[in-house]
Copies of this chain bind each other. A is one copy, B any other.
Amino acid sequence: MNLADQSLSRIAREPLWDRAHGQLREALLAGRFEPGSALVLRQLAETFGTSITPVRDAVSRLVAQGVLDQGPRNSALVPDLRSSALTDLMVVRTELEGRATREAAAKAAAADVVALEGLLADMRRMIAQRQLDTYLDIHRRFHFGIYALAGIPILLEMIENLWLRCGPILSFVVPEYVVSLKGTDHHQAALDAIRVKDGAGAEAEIVADIEEAGSYLLSLADPSGRIRRPGREGARNANAPGVAAP
Seen from chain A, the residues whose Cβ lies within 8 Å of a Cβ on chain B are 15, 56-57, 60-66, 74, 85, 88-89, 91-92, 95-96, 99, 152-155, 157-158, 161, 165
Known A-B contacts A15-B74, A95-B99; the reply to A152 vs B61 at CB < 8 A is no
List chain B residues, Cβ under 8 A from A155. Answer: 88, 91-92
A-B pairs, 8 with minimum CB distance: A61-B64, A64-B64, A88-B152, A88-B154, A95-B99, A64-B65, A92-B155, A95-B95
Q: How far is the CA of A158 from the CA of B96 in the complex (A)?
A: 11
With both chains docked as a complex, state the minimum distance between the C-beta of A39 and any C-beta of chain B, in angstroms. 15
List chain B residues, Cβ under 8 A from A152. Answer: 88, 91-92
B157 touches A66 (CB 8 A): yes
Q: State the number of copies, please.
A: 2
Q: Which of B65, B74, B85 contacts A65 (CB 8 A)?
A: B65
List chain B residues, Cβ under 8 A from A56. Answer: 57
List chain B residues, Cβ under 8 A from A60. Answer: 57, 60-61, 64
A158 touches B92 (CB 8 A): yes
Interface of A is mostly: helix
Q: How far is the CA of A61 from the CA of B57 in the complex (A)?
A: 9
Q: How far is the CA of A65 from the CA of B64 in the complex (A)?
A: 6
Determine the residue in chain B with the shortest Cβ distance to A63: B61
Q: How far is the CA of A91 from the CA of B92 in the complex (A)?
A: 14
Determine the residue in chain B with the shortest Cβ distance to A153: B88
With both chains docked as a complex, state the minimum distance between the C-beta of A102 and any C-beta of chain B, in angstroms. 10
Question: In the complex, which of the residues A89, A92, A157, A161 has the most CB atoms of chain B within 10 Å of its own CB atom?
Answer: A92
Q: How far is the CA of A65 from the CA of B157 in the complex (A)?
A: 10
Question: In the complex, which of the residues A74, A153, A158 has the most CB atoms of chain B within 10 Å of its own CB atom?
Answer: A158
Q: How far is the CA of A219 from the CA of B226 in the complex (A)?
A: 49
| Given A15-B74, A60-B61, 11 other A-B residues pairs in contact with their CB atoms under 8 A | A62-B64, A64-B65, A85-B154, A88-B154, A92-B96, A92-B158, A95-B96, A96-B96, A154-B165, A158-B158, A158-B161
